Amino acid sequence: MATLSPSSGLSNLGPLAQLKAGRLPERLFRLLVGLWLYGLAIALMVKGAIGASPWDVFHLGLSLHLPVSFGVVMIITAVVVLLGWIPLRQMPGLGTVANSLLLGPFADISLAMLGVPESLWLRIAYMLGGVVTCAFATALYVGAQLGPGPRDGLMTGLSRRTGWSIRKVRTIIEVTVLIAGVLLGGVAGVGTVIFALGVGPLTQFFLRYLVVRLDEPAPRAAVPEEA
């Protein structure tokens, strides 16, 4: 997750306004492609087995204790996180729902399609490819401006409620889920550190080119003064 500046071109719109902001077919396409690529990025890092993202270390650890697939664990986690939006008064958008329901199945499909790399160099390539793909995918679906993912919304909601910086809240959340994931049996590694350091700047870079510029509200006509 990246900390986004106002200059990123992202608008602060409600769920209905997001749908009415124009270029909807293009934005829906970008959302779906972005989520598919995000699922592929997760699978690349998991198959590389030298450290997944903090959230995926948690998902991996939890999947060891539940009779469901990795992707289903992602859906369950997303639903639980969305419940945390209620006291924060966060409003989900279409992209939030799509992220919650589709990202897990997309990750499961990619995990089934990818083979297990045998050499260390190929595992490193998987990991690095996963980090870059994740950043590109995040910029693509966030840039569609149809609502944040569950985990992103939790971060921004907590930041707004507590007055803490996005960086501080993000760090607290990701360290917490990483520790929980390791305690559950998930494995962190070099890839986890590289992801934590690299995905934010890369996402910010890709957002420069992938944010869909939305229609600005039409200015209100001036009311003529009475003579």
pLDDT tens per residue across span 14-41: 878 888 888 899 999 999 999 999 999 9
The closest of 110, 113, 89, 91 to 35, measured between CA atoms, is: 110
Say if residues 214 and 20 touch (Cβ distance below 8 Å): no
Say if residues 217 and 24 touch (Cβ distance below 8 Å): no
Extents of the domains making up the chain: 24-210
With a cut of 80, say whether residue 183 has pLDDT above it.
yes
Say if residues 107 and 43 touch (Cβ distance below 8 Å): yes
Specify the residue for token string 């289903």: 72
pLDDT tens per residue across span 53-86: 999 999 999 999 999 999 999 999 999 999 999 8
